[in-house]
Structure 1
Amino acid sequence: MAKYSEQFKLKLVKEYQEGKLGYNLLAKKYGLKDSTPILRWVKVYEKFGVEGLKRKRHKETYSVQFKLDVLSFMKRTGSSETETAHKFGLTNAPMIASWKKAFREGGTEALGRPKGRPPMSEKAKNSKNKQTEKKEMTYEQKLERENELLRLEVEYLKKLRAFQMDPEGYLEKHKQRYHSNSKKPSN
């Protein structure tokens, strides 16, 4: 996926807002494959201003619970990814699609996996060798893992039920926690 500068995005948003060209014509004029990014930039600009168009210097990480709540809200309300992103204060709506795919393919556990490939240091190489030697988990370890997954599932279902009973109250109650959990402090 191509990365576009903040100035380029802002230029296209402003040009769209002037009303002379629509999304498709702007995409064609500037050589974009389709108009979806322009539509997303306009929506993000309208919701968050210029800040929404900026590329993030640091990757924000979101808790598994937050991702589950976002997906649950989207499924329950039938909202689009863009509408859901705006509801939860996210500027990158396509990220929700990747969460949805990960959840569909690997369940709750897949939402907690870090993205990307970790660097391969000497320590990592050594631990990788040890892991291949100790690949088999003991019966006790398997049971502990299963218990933990079941605990997570029960906790998720409790929160889902609370959310379904009073969505606005639930979101308001947990809003501050999600925003504080989702942003890494920048040093």
Structure 2
Amino acid sequence: MVVREYLGGTIGYKRLAEKHGVKSKRQIIDWVNAYKKFGMKGLLRKKNDAIYSVQFKLDVLSFMKRTGASLSKTALHFGITNPSVIRGWKKKFLEGGAEALDNPKGRPAMSEKAKNVQKSQKPTQQNEMTREQKLERENELLRLEVAFLKKLRAFQMDPDGYLEKHRQRYHSNSKKNSD
């Protein structure tokens, strides 16, 4: 209703926000842009279980940093209908690096194997990782970092070519994750 009223051309963002009790005109701008790019689907909230890969999150943050694009423009570019999601990724990344982006929301379900291991361990051993587990985790983080740096280098060398090459993957990835 608010978007249609704005598109009708009779009232601006600020007055619309005041009229409908929306805290910021920025919210209405985001709604209008999402509607223009994605239609009604752009205004619908995605399910909370939408999952984006760590690599996708890193690519989004890298794009935003390299191009200087705003949260809204970056979200529209990557097909993310809620720009504040990117703000959360950025905060997590700044606080804990790439590893922080890998933490899914909520508590993961415990597998049967994990339940059995947990029962057999003493309480003090439950929170400690073995040396091998620590090394595996470190290897995984290093692999992520190397992949990120390779993509960043490719993007820096030819931003337009890189974005064009990966544009289809991002759009299909975001559609896949929203189902």
TM-score by length of 2: 0.83
Tell me the CA shift for residue 172 of structure 1. Answer: 2.3
Aligned-partner Cα distance in 2 for 1:37–1:22: 13
2:24 is the alignment partner of 1:24: no
- Residues matched between the structures, number: 176
Q: Determine which of 155, 158, 162 is the counterpart of 1:170.
A: 162
- Larger relative contact order, structure 1 or 2 (CA cutoff 8 Å, min sep 6): 2
Equivalent residue, structure 1, for 2:82: 92
Equivalent residue, structure 1, for 2:106: 116
Tell me the CA shift for residue 137 of structure 1. Answer: 2.0
148-157 vs 133-142, which deviates more? 133-142
Runs of at least 5 residues in structure 1 that lack an aligned partner in the other structure: 1-10
28-37 vs 62-71, which deviates more? 28-37
Tell me the CA shift for residue 154 of structure 1. Answer: 1.3
Tell me the CA shift for residue 83 of structure 1. Answer: 1.0
What's the % identity of the aligned pairs?
A: 64
Map 1:33-182 → 2, pairs under 5 A: 33-57=23-47, 59-118=49-108, 132=123, 133-182=125-174
Q: Which has the higher helix share?
A: 2
| AA in 1 matched with 2:28 | I
Closer/same/farther in 2, CA of residues 21 and 179 from structure 1, 3 Å limit? closer
Kindly indicate whether the alpha-carbon contact (under 8 Å) linking 2:50 and 2:178 is maintained by their aligned counterparts in 1. no
Kindly indicate whether the alpha-carbon contact (under 8 Å) linking 2:75 and 2:82 is maintained by their aligned counterparts in 1. yes
Equivalent residue, structure 2, for 1:8: none
Aligned-partner Cα distance in 2 for 1:68–1:51: 25
Aligned-partner Cα distance in 1 for 2:102–2:77: 22
